[in-house]
Amino acid sequence: MIGLNTAAIYVLQTLGSLYLLIVLLRFVLQLVRANFYNPLCQFIVRATQPLLKPLRRIIPSLFGLDMSSLVLAIIVQMILMALTLLLMFGTTGDPLHLLLWSIISVTALFLKIFFFALIISVILSWVAPGSHNPGAELVNQICEPALAPFRKIVPNLGGLDISPILAFLVLKLLDMLVINNLAAMSDMPDVLRLLM
Beta carbons of 142 and 114 less than 8 angstroms apart: yes
- The string of pLDDT tens digits covering residues 141-187 is 999 998 989 888 887 777 777 889 999 999 999 999 999 999 999 99
- Considering the chain, what is the average pLDDT of its residues? 91
pLDDT at 1 over 60: no
pLDDT of residue 188: 94
pLDDT of residue 7: 86
pLDDT of residue 129: 76
As a whole number, mean pLDDT of residues 20-35 equals: 95
> How far apart are alpha carbons 49 and 34 in whole angstroms?
17
pLDDT of residue 2: 56
Nearest-5° angle of CA 97, CA 187, CA 79?
A: 40
* Domain boundary assignment for the chain: 2-193
> How far apart are alpha carbons 167 and 49 in whole angstroms?
32
Beta bridge partners of 157: 160
* CA dihedral of 87, 93, 98, 100, whole degrees rounded to 10: -140
Beta carbons of 73 and 81 less than 8 angstroms apart: no
How many angstroms separate the Cα of 184 from the Cα of each of 16, 99, 187, 192? Answer: 23, 15, 5, 12
Contacts of 147 (CB under 8 A, 6+ apart): 118, 163, 164, 167
Per cent of the chain over pLDDT 90 is 64
Beta carbons of 179 and 111 less than 8 angstroms apart: yes
